[in-house]
């Protein structure tokens, strides 16, 4: 399956993506890396129009979309497994984890902001508050993030994708 990409050189601005309904977990992982990824469960025509109108690269598992003559720049994601999907996208676009100031909320795609311990007091478990010093919050959905015990697994997945 051929993908339709229009650039060979690294882009001047960070890449932005739109992922189809079959790639929700991939969208989450790309956001963790710091990339702007919209997730769409809409109809094919609306997805294509959204990608075209917003200048986003379409990530899809739908061969019907890729075969359309009017398809925007896209990448057909071959695997059903999120770790392989992430590796394919990282390699195809030569992606690297973004600067921490560009990290995004995995849930809603908004850039997260640093939070002080005082700001998160009473909003995270006491065990977490007493052992962590760095926190981030999503200004849109209010979710809070910190480098907990799950971080090792996340780092391993990211290392596997970028090496």
Per-residue pLDDT tens for 87-143? 999 999 999 887 777 889 999 999 999 999 999 999 999 999 999 999 999 999 999
Instruction: Please calculate the CA angle 42-51-39 and round it to the nearest 5 degrees.
Output: 50
- 41, 96: one domain: yes
Helix, strand, coil percent content, the chain, rounded in steps of 5: 40, 15, 45
Give the residue numbers spanning the domain of 32. Answer: 16-101
37-68: b or e for each residue (b if 16 or more CB lie within 10 Å)?
Answer: bebbeeebeebbebbeeeebbbbbbbeebbee
Residue range 1-29: average pLDDT? Answer: 78
Residue range 9-17: average pLDDT? Answer: 73
Q: What is the pLDDT of residue 69?
A: 85
Does a structural domain hold residue 112?
yes
Tens digits of residue pLDDT in 54-89: 999 999 999 999 999 888 999 999 999 999 999 999
- 33, 66: one domain: yes
- 29, 96: one domain: yes
Please state the pTM of the whole predicted model.
0.87
State how many domains the chain has: 2
Q: Are 37 and 94 in contact (CB under 8 A)?
A: no
């Amino acid at each position: 399956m051929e993908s339709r990409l229009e650039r060979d050189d690294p882009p001047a601005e960070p890449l932005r993506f739109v992922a189809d309904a079959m790639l929700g977990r991939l969208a989450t992982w790309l956001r963790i890396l710091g990339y702007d990824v919209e997730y769409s469960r809409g109809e094919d025509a609306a997805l294509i129009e959204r990608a075209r109108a917003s200048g986003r690269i379409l990530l899809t598992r739908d061969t019907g979309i890729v075969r359309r003559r009017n398809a925007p720049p896209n990448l057909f994601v071959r695997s059903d497994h999120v770790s392989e999907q992430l590796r394919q996208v990282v390699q195809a676009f030569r992606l690297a984890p973004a600067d921490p100031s560009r990290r995004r909320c995995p849930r809603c795609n908004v850039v997260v902001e640093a939070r002080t311990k005082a700001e998160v007091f009473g909003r995270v478990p006491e065990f977490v508050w007493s052992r962590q010093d760095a926190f981030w919050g999503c200004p849109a959905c209010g979710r809070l993030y910190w480098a907990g015990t799950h971080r090792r697994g996340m780092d391993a997945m990211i290392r596997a994708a970028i090496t």
